[in-house]
Structure 1
């Protein structure tokens, strides 16, 4: 189950002690929060709607590893809502306020049997985790207010990996387009899990799969450029701060390879953006997607010298440039494809 620890004196939200309803109103949006029941566990979900604009399309957002839909990630959601989009987001299983072992995404079948025995249910396997979020997204996508509108999937970092899996699991024409922010499709060499470690832990017949025993290689420091924003991100009480779990790193490496092998199956319009100094997800993640995807409408933006967290972790001038590019891309696609209703 989810857990969070609030340090004494720490404000409940990154903006301070202002009541949530008041803060969201000051940002020009309404916010709803609820739990979505699935066969794999409960998902914590959020919705962001523009206060004074007609909804022209919907966007379904997935956060990165160790993060959640609250704290700074929701600033991305609020930006899109301010442009006239209905935004829906869910904490991935094992993250934030959703069910599951914290940041566990293992897929080893022997491990699953052992973990179910010890924990009751593991909620592992990234393909299943993606399918669980997708079940919520499709529930909203096909609901009466939104079923006739253009619909976009958005994924940041490892959330980009999960988003691509959701796209592959979806019916044709379900999604008008895809947006990726520094997606994790190719792991940088210094971040790759040691094959020796994985082999040795594998000899334990899966019992080590949930162990938080893999080197973390200081991921946060490689992701956030702005030191003040790093402090804010580090104060998130729901952020996972333990070492990566054995099964998680094995599964991420496995699914990255799977996505690389299937780039050509991407046919939807997409935008992918990446910083050239990204030390967490190789910039080649976006470059290879752009080169190998079969989409006729595809866009790639590379930002010189920017780190991994393009919107949450860069100085404002840099982050605003990325957000501006995203707005230009999605507004143009809504205008271009808005009259074409998806085949539901």
Structure 2
């Protein structure tokens, strides 16, 4: 299937907190898609550029692919790189994804989640929210476990919890170059670095805390996702 046979569309929607969220979709233009796939992008990433290759390939394979940039990510509203509550992000994703599934032409379609890194954790949280709603999921390097040597002590976690409520948006979490750590391909690294919609600053305190606590929660409840 040539790229001319793929239809790409963009749209902004509003979430329950009054933020504008960017959505995009790829689908076969000449026939009815065989199933729906919903993208959950990783931390600091976005859908329309960094997951364009995935969306295009899946659309060529006959699927309708839908993505949404989380608040503070990509082309959506909010402070860049900031997530105040990961459960709100999960709720935003479910509200949008469910609205797509409720359309008359989609009601009988099978529906799958595809999550990368932090998006893998969000996909797992979406599954736990409504286990019978989804027909399956594809997880790429999902954020579902923290290696023991990287886990902070309970005292440090308590301090982080308190600080995150006082200075939530501060970019004070030290970290190595996340692009070098997460991406092996030099070409893909440069593409992400040149993408103006990918956040490249240090993780904000509340964002880091939310991601960390979600990882602990998923790790301790992995049997519920099997």
TM-score (structure 1 length as normaliser):
0.61
Q: Is the 8 A contact 1:155 1:162 kept in 2?
A: yes
Residue 128 of structure 1: how far off its partner (Å): 1.2
Residue-pair matches, total: 224
Of residues 96-105 and 146-155 in structure 1, the stretch that sits farther from structure 2 once superposed is 96-105
1:216 counterpart = 2:175: yes
1:263 counterpart = 2:187: no
For residue 11 of structure 2, what is the aligned residue in structure 1? 34
Counterparts of 1:202-241 in structure 2 under 5 Å? 202=161, 204=163, 206-241=165-200
Change (3 A) 1:141 1:193: farther
Of 74, 86, 92, which aligns to 1:126? 86
Of 93, 97, 101, which aligns to 1:137? 97
Unaligned runs of 5+ in 2: none
Counterparts of 1:265-304 in structure 2 under 5 Å? 265-266=224-225, 293=226
Residue 127 of structure 1: how far off its partner (Å): 1.0
Give the superposed CA RMSD: 2.1
C-alpha separation in 1, matches of 2:106 and 2:163: 48
Q: Deviations over 1:155-191 (max 9, x none)?
A: 1110111111111112x42111111111001134576
Q: Highest Rg: 1 or 2?
A: 1
Residue 28 of structure 1: how far off its partner (Å): 3.3
TM-score (structure 2 length as normaliser):
0.90
Secondary structure at the residue paired with 2:104?
A: coil
**Higher normalized contact order (CA 8 Å, seq sep 6+, divided by chain length):** 2
Q: Is the 8 A contact 1:201 1:209 kept in 2?
A: no
Q: Deviations over 1:45-102 (max 9, x none)?
A: 0111112343111011111000001223111011111111111100011101112222
1:179 counterpart = 2:138: yes
Of 119, 125, 136, which aligns to 1:165? 125
Residue 200 of structure 1: how far off its partner (Å): 4.7
For residue 47 of structure 1, what is the aligned residue in structure 2? 25
Counterparts of 1:78-157 in structure 2 under 5 Å? 78-105=56-83, 124-157=84-117
Unaligned runs of 5+ in 1: 1-24, 106-123, 267-292, 294-344
C-alpha separation in 2, matches of 1:191 and 1:218: 16
C-alpha separation in 1, matches of 2:93 and 2:114: 12
C-alpha separation in 1, matches of 2:95 and 2:175: 31
